A and B are shown apart, each in its own frame.
Chain A
């Protein structure tokens, strides 16, 4: 069975600090996808990134970066020079890969990030 663990329930940082959100996953599949979503107070989930299990290359997008380590089943998310607008709940998610089948996405419980001005 799939499982996603986000051990950090809430994190508070001062603006301009760097912050890393941890994500550990469990799956028996060899092919799978990992996601990060941002959920601001308005409630809508905003897609940030998708990685497949064969691509362990780290990715950087502006102030955001992701570190995927298959050996430790982790997919961590770092925000550099945090800003108040980064305040939100962040979810890590895992998707099973099924040819011709459906996509079931399992979400973690989320990490609430508060950036203090």
Chain B
């Protein structure tokens, strides 16, 4: 186990609703990244949070937003859910030190979101 936890495990929402997914990073880690993994695909980078600020973003619309808290845990919020948002959402924590970005990411078990 990596020490990264995510909640909930599974979630079913209706199109147009909003959802919040949660991630607790591994102890001592200060960076959290979120990924979307559609069925049969590799994870796609959504964004990364470092020291409570969004630090980089992939090709996802603004209705995907996030937060990082002082204890480095994080939330992913998705507004106006669409059917294509159905996927496994993975968070990964890492320890970023100095200028190096070569850090290993430790993934949580994911939240499976189904939008009907």
Contacts and interface: CB of A to CB of B under 8 A. Distances in A.
Interface of A: 4, 33, 37, 42-47, 50, 52, 91, 93, 95-110
B41 A103 contact: no
Given A102-B56, A103-B33, A97 B101 contact: yes
B61 to A, nearest CB: 17
Nearest to B101: A103
Contacts, number: 78
A103 B103 contact: yes
B62 interface: no
B95 to A, nearest CB: 11
Contact of B42 (A52, A102, A107): A107
Given A44-B2, A105-B33, 16 more contacts: A42-B109, A44-B108, A44-B109, A47-B107, A91-B42, A95-B102, A97-B102, A98-B101, A100-B99, A102-B48, A104-B58, A105-B45, A105-B105, A107-B44, A109-B40, A110-B40
A109 B41 contact: yes
Interface string B40-63: 111111001010000110100000
Which residue among B40, B50, B55, B102 has the maximum number of chain A CB atoms within 10 Å of its CB? B102
A103 B94 contact: yes
Contact of B104 (A50, A52, A100, A101): A50
3 shortest interchain CB distances as A-B pairs: A102-B56, A107-B42, A45-B107
Contact of B48 (A33, A43, A103): A103
Given A103-B48, A103-B94, A52 B88 contact: no
